[in-house]
Amino acid sequence: MRIGDTVHYVSYGTPGGEFPSVCRAATVTEFGDTQLLGLCVLNPTGLFFHPLADGGCEYDPAIGRTPRGGTWHGMDECNPDGAAMARLWSGNSSGIGPFREHGKKQSGSD
Ligand SMILES: [Zn+2]
């Protein structure tokens, strides 16, 4: 891993579930001890910084379970069946992804 590489940062979400915990793209800005990283998180609405000076982000590959909020894992380690991605996509019954099927009209339109 190098400075500038991209990993996944796991957002915290809200306790009531209004905002679920999801994976966000994050750029590595610093290396700390024992897999601690400083990250610049690319949220859809803006950047969020987690420098080592504020504690950084711990590594949590979360095999077979949901990763903890505030942690990072490699994009290749992201488990679409068991972790945050499944939660991210849980609103879509097709299981394909968060996108409307191409060419399909939304009910109520036209
Ligand atoms: Zn992920």
What is the per-residue pLDDT across 78-97, written as a single tens digit (0 to 9) for each? 865 444 444 454 444 444 44
For residue 50, how far is its CA from the centre of ligand 1 (angstroms)?
Answer: 17
For residue 103, how far is its CA from the centre of ligand 1 (angstroms)?
Answer: 29
Q: List the domain boundaries for the chain.
A: 6-82
For residue 80, how far is its CA from the centre of ligand 1 (angstroms)?
Answer: 8
What is the per-residue pLDDT across 46-77, written as a single tens digit (0 to 9) for each? 999 999 999 999 999 887 777 889 999 998 88
The token pair that represents 6 in the structure block: 């991209």
User: CA-based angle 18:102:86, to the nearest 5?
Assistant: 35
For residue 46, how far is its CA from the centre of ligand 1 (angstroms)?
Answer: 18
pTM over 0.75: no
Which residues, by Cβ under 5 Å, contact ligand 1, an ion? 8, 23, 78
